[in-house]
């Protein structure tokens, strides 16, 4: 992200953080190309909001906790981590909500692994300010690209293909499920 920021026009130099929604398509693509060249693996979970039970729509934090735990659990299990795992979350949660999230994520993330893996794996959850964490800024571009790809796919305007080779885990959570 630092290399990308140096190559951006002056209008972006005073912005405290690069975000997908306030960057034009040319620079979105450049950011994504730089991300894809790093060889980073991408994992994401796709949720179709119209398939969410109405009672869960009003309990967004419970849904967020569950889906985040499911994704992190899948990553830990698929990659067979057997040492410490650091999870960095955008600092958007406060107080009791953050504590509940952390407890649930620690519980849910490790429940899918083998007993040997659970004994060796320790989860470290950190909440970081996206203005100061370039990895969170990169994740914002990936999330924006995935969201745009599935929400309003337009072949001439879709940058998903830039990161597609890096996608290792794609959980289409409600694909084919009925309420």
Taking residues 81-87, what's their average pLDDT? Answer: 86
pLDDT at position 118, please? 52
3-30: pLDDT as tens digits: 777 777 777 777 778 899 988 888 899 8
The pTM of this model reads 0.85
Flag whether pLDDT at 113 surpasses 60.
Answer: no
- Taking the C-alpha atoms of residue 24 and residue 157, their distance in angstroms, rounded to an integer, is 11
pLDDT at position 88, please? 94
**Residue with more model confidence, 39 or 155:** 39
Residue 119: exposed, middle, or buried by beta-carbon count in 10 A (0-12, 13-18, 19+)?
exposed
- Which of 12-21, 29-38, 101-110, 170-179 has maximum average pLDDT? 29-38
Taking residues 144-156, what's their average pLDDT? Answer: 84
Q: Residue 13 — φ and ψ, nearest 5°?
A: -70, -30
pLDDT at position 17, please? 83
Flag whether pLDDT at 115 surpasses 50.
Answer: no
Beta-strand (E) ranges in 12-113?
A: 42-46, 85-90
């Amino acid at each position: 992200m630092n290399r990308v920021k140096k190559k951006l026009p002056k209008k972006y130099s005073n912005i405290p953080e690069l975000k997908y929604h306030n960057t034009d398509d040319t620079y979105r693509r450049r950011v994504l190309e730089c991300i894809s060249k790093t060889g980073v693996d991408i994992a994401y979970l796709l949720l179709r909001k119209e398939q969410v039970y109405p009672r869960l729509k009003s309990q967004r934090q419970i849904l967020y906790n569950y889906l985040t735990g499911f994704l992190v659990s899948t990553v830990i299990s698929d990659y067979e981590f057997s040492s410490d795992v650091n999870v960095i979350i955008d600092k958007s949660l406060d107080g009791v909500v953050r504590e509940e999230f952390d407890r649930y994520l620690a519980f849910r993330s490790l429940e899918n692994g083998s007993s040997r893996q659970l004994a060796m794996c320790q989860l470290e959850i950190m909440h970081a300010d996206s203005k100061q964490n370039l990895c969170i800024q990169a994740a914002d571009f990936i999330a924006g690209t995935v969201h745009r790809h599935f929400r309003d796919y337009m072949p001439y305007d879709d940058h998903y293909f830039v990161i597609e080779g890096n996608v290792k885990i794609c959980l289409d959570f409600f694909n084919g499920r009925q309420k």
